[in-house]
Structure formats: structure tokens, C-alpha cells
Amino acid sequence: MFRSVEELVKLADESHLSISEVMIQSEMETTGKSREEIFLRMAGNLDIMEKAVERGIHENVRSHSGLTGGDARLLQDYLASGKSLSGDVLLDAVSKAMATNEVNAAMGTICATPTAGSAGVVPGTLFGLRQRLNPNREQMVRYLFTAGAFGFVIANNASISGAAGGCQAEVGSATGMAAAAAVELAGGTPDQSAHAMAIALGNMLGLICDPVAGLVEVPCVKRNAIGASSAIVAADMALAGIKSKIPCDEVIDAMYRVGRMMPGALKETAQGGLADTPTGRALKKKIFGSAAPSSALNNP
Amino acid sequence: MKYRSVFDIIGPVMIGPSSSHTAGAARIGRVARKLFGEVPESVTVTLYGSFAETYKGHGTDVALTAGILNFDTSDERLPQSLEIARKQGVSIRFYPDRETRTEHPNTARLHLKKGENELDIVGVSIGGGKIEIIEVDGFAISLSGSNPALLVLHRDKYGAVAEAAGLIAKYEINISYMQVSRHKKGSLAMMVIQTDEEISEGLAAEIACLPNMLNVAVLS
């Protein structure tokens, strides 16, 4: 078992294992389950992620509120036009991250990574990198174990809850996890994974959770989109040999402390940020009327 | 360590839109249902913190109801739970409490009732779909860390604890922590048993069949 990123990287280096392998062995040790059982369960999660992505980029997904849906497809069409500024890999990842969150907002089936509101970044980054890196199914499942290992450290030392730590704890964590996992998928070292995560999460510090009308839609879908792009850029930086001056564990701790300092209005209460703009308030009124959702709901 | 498995991070597979406000809420509802042991006639839910502010947007009411109907977080009937509850004659009322400050922002108190049978339970959704149960029928529950746990409501009779512990041993499961509380001698009692290994539904069902046990819920 590892409690910090430092311990995780040390474990991997000393036993000449990948981060994903350290995570799998740790899971076997903690739960007493077999490698096959653990691997199959994660492969099942990968299937769910893939289905959500496919649904989001092919079907006409719309949320009940009408606030989100269809943007992943718009990006796919734009990609096909060959005119993109940021490049095919990046935009494909962005589109697939959005696809996942659009399905989530429409109350579809997704796999939380680490949460539902931030479920797009990790699979979006993976499926966006697929054409470039051509991974086999095992490598794709391993990507999820690597992302899980880093997320595990964040969850136990800081938070992955927007209500407790703001969006930095959700999309911030997911971006760090995806960056670290992308490094391993591309053949980087455990240490480079740690730097990618530190760079990615460090860039997300202070990000507030301000869902318009309290819905996991605006700005969540777009935060996941740009989270996926940041993850790939951070992974590239680490693979190029760039190091985070602040060690990964200290970045995680900083995220935790920033979350503690953040006022309640900016932590998933829909009382600040974009939720508290004239348009944000108007959208809330349009969706719920003026009284709801503050009135008690009776059933029947 | 609050989270112990990689599947706490990459998972759960769930119906959107929020792991804490939807999946976690469904899990709290389901633990309440398991401990209650039957379909309730009426349920009163008090929501605190972020739950109170955003429950409707996140479908927290829908998810808690789904849990009370014994649905899993990935059950595709989840979005229709309010309708299904209405058809089953379950009345569920939600009261957001914006005044009371709770330790964690996502806290819900559920009061389930059917005839003489009543249950009061307080659950917290700590993030990523993970939950903690902090109170059952006035029994404060302190679960350290995130190991799997069994919550057992039972009659306060001699041998009850030994019988449950015996079955757990039969399954070769090690108890890491145990707490037994009761209101008064001979009345209702509550066992909280934390284990090193996963607890199967089979074991929970066998414990529930023991003579003095009332209801059993598993927290994984």
C-alpha cells in the first residue's frame, strides 16, 4: 500500500514495475481478490466509458434541462473539416471528454473517474490518444489503473468532492490523473507521471465549483473538455523532461488547503461564480421557476 | 484512509449526473432500505449543506428514492424512481435544511416508517460515490477508515453477538473493529462490524437469518 505519490513512485522504481502494476498488486493485497477478477472489473469499466463516448459523439444526446448536449458532435464535425487550430489528437480528446459529460448530464450511464461531474477527462484523454499511440486493450485498462493510483492518493490526502474542495478537487484531480496515466501509456517513467500530475493539478488550483442551477452541466461539460486538453499538454511537458518545481504530494496538499479556504458559496452550492451571474440566475429561474428548488418537493 | 480500493476512484458505474449527489445518495437510500428490511410506507428526508442547495438539479431526491426502492447506482430505472415509488404507494417528502451546519456538506437524514416499524438514519456522501453512515436510530456510529462494514440491527439477547461473529469466522473473514450499542437492556441493539475482507451478500443474508437478527446492511 502507498500513501503518497512519493511512495508510489519509489515502490514502482525499486521493484522495476509500472505504476499500473503497483496499483493492481496493491488492490490484490487489500481486497484478497485475484488479478483476473480485478483486471476484468476494470475492463468492464473501460467498456462503459467507451459506450458513453460513442453515444455522445454519435447520438443526439440532450439533458432534461436543455442546457447541454450536442457539443461533442459539433467538435467531431469540425475535426472532420480539417481546419482545427489545436490539432486532431487534442480536439478528439476534448470532444470525447465532452461526450461523456453530456451523457452524464442526460442521466445516462457513465463510470465515475473520480466523480461523475469529472467523468469525461480520463476517458476523453484515453480515447483521444488512441489513434496516436495505438494501445491494445490491456494497455488501455492499465491506463485506468495508473489514473486510479494517482486519484487514490488525492482522495485519501485531499478530496475528490466539489462540495468539500471545489472543482479543483474534481476536474483538477481528473486532469492530474489523466496526465499521469497518459505518460505511462506513452512509455514514460513513473517519475514523469508524477511530474505530469503535479503540473496539471498545479494549474487547476483554486478552480471553484459553481454549477448553474445546481446542475452538473454548465460549466462542468466544458471544464472536462479543457481538462482533457490540459492533461495531454501536461503529459507532453513531462515527457519532454520538464519537472514540476513543487513536488506532486505538496501540490496535492496545496489543493486540499485551498479547498479548505474556499468559501461555501464556491463549493457546489450554486451560489457563486458562473451560477451567480445574471444569465446563470435567469437560467435557474427558467428551469425550476422562481420557488424551486428551494421549496420542499412532495411525492406523491 | 477513507478510500481503500482503486474502484472507489475509477467507479462506480452509475447513472448521472453526480457521484456524490446521485450515486452516493442512492447508496445512502439503499442502506436505509436494507436496515429497514421492507418497503416503507412513508419516508421523510432532511437534506443539509450542498444537498439542501442543489438536490433537485443533481437528482438527489430521485436517487435517494431509487435507493429506498433497493435500486443500485447503475439501475436504469433510477431516473424514473419518483414515479415508481408513487405507483408502489411509497410517500417520500424532502425538506432542505439550510440553517443547521453539518460536519460534511453532503448530509441526509432519513426517517422510514411502516406501521410500528420506524428507522432513523444519517448518511454522508463524502465524494466519488463513497458514503459513510454516521447514525442509526440514535446510535452514533464511528467507522474508522474505509474497510467494508456490516450494520446489524438485532435484539439485545445473550449470544446474539457471538452468533454473528461465528458466522463471520466461518467465512474466514477477519473483524478489524466492532462496536455494539443498545438503548436499554433487552431492547433493540446495533452491531457495527468492520472487516479486512469484502463482505458477500451471501454472508449478510445468512446473518439476517439468525434468530435474534432483525436487519443487515453491507457497506463496501
Residue type, A139: Q
Q: Is A109 on the interface with B (CB under 8 A)?
A: yes
Q: Which of A62, A107, A168, A252 to mutate to test the interface with B (most CBs of B within 10 A)?
A: A107
Kindly identify which residue of chain A lies nearest to residue B106, measuring between CA atoms.
A163
Q: Do the domain assignments include residue B142?
A: no
ipTM confidence: 0.95
First to last CA, chain B: 14
Q: At what angle do helices A190-202 and A173-185 cross, to 10 degrees?
A: 150
Q: Is B80 on the interface with A (CB under 8 A)?
A: no
B178: domain CATH number?
3.30.70.260
pLDDT tens, residue by residue, A67-106 = 999 999 999 999 999 999 999 999 999 999 999 999 999 9
Q: Is B168 on the interface with A (CB under 8 A)?
A: no
Nearest to B191 by CA among B167, B202, B171: B167
Q: What is the mean pLDDT of each run of 10 residues along chain B (220 residues)?
A: 92 93 95 94 96 89 97 95 97 95 92 95 92 91 76 93 94 92 85 90 93 90
Least Cα separation, residue A85 to chain B (angstroms):
31
Together in a domain, B24 and B68? yes
DSSP H helical segments within A106-209, as ranges? 121-133, 137-157, 162-165, 167, 173-185, 190-202
Identify the H or E element spanning B110.
strand B106-114
Who contacts B116 (Cβ-Cβ below 8 Å, separation ≥6)?
none
Q: Do the domain assignments include residue A196?
A: yes
* Domain final position from B69, B104, B136: B136
Taking phi over 0 as left and psi of -120 to 50 as alpha, with beta for the rest, B187 belongs to beta
Least Cα separation, residue B57 to chain A (angstroms):
4
Q: Do the domain assignments include residue B203?
A: yes
pLDDT tens, residue by residue, A216-233 = 999 999 999 999 999 999
Q: Is B49 on the interface with A (CB under 8 A)?
A: yes
Q: Is A198 on the interface with B (CB under 8 A)?
A: no
Together in a domain, B15 and B122? yes
- Inter-chain CB proximity A216 and B58 less than 8 Å: yes
* Domain final position from B113, B136, B159: B136
Q: Do the domain assignments include residue B162?
A: yes
The pLDDT assigned to A1 comes to: 87
Between CA A176 and CA A231 the distance in angstroms is 7
Q: Which positions in chain B touch A269 (Cβ < 8 Å)?
A: 49-50, 53-54, 105
Q: How many beta-carbon pairs under 8 angstroms link A with B? A: 203
Together in a domain, B132 and B153? no
For residue A180, give the C-alpha cell. 499521469
Q: Do the domain assignments include residue A300?
A: no
pLDDT band at A32 (very low <50, low <70, confident <90, very high): confident
Together in a domain, B131 and B152? no
Between CA B139 and CA B110 the distance in angstroms is 14
Q: Do the domain assignments include residue B188?
A: yes
Task: For residue B8, give its domain range.
Answer: 1-136
Least Cα separation, residue A64 to chain B (angstroms):
10
Give the total number of structural domains in chain A: 1
Task: For residue A57, give its domain range.
Answer: 5-288
- Inter-chain CB proximity B17 and A288 less than 8 Å: no
Taking phi over 0 as left and psi of -120 to 50 as alpha, with beta for the rest, A277 belongs to beta
Q: Is A157 on the interface with B (CB under 8 A)?
A: no
Residue type, B33: R
B22: domain CATH number?
3.30.1330.90
Asked if residues A220 and B54 have their Cβ atoms less than 8 Å apart, the reply is no
Together in a domain, B124 and B178? no
The pLDDT assigned to B148 comes to: 87
- Inter-chain CB proximity A156 and B20 less than 8 Å: no
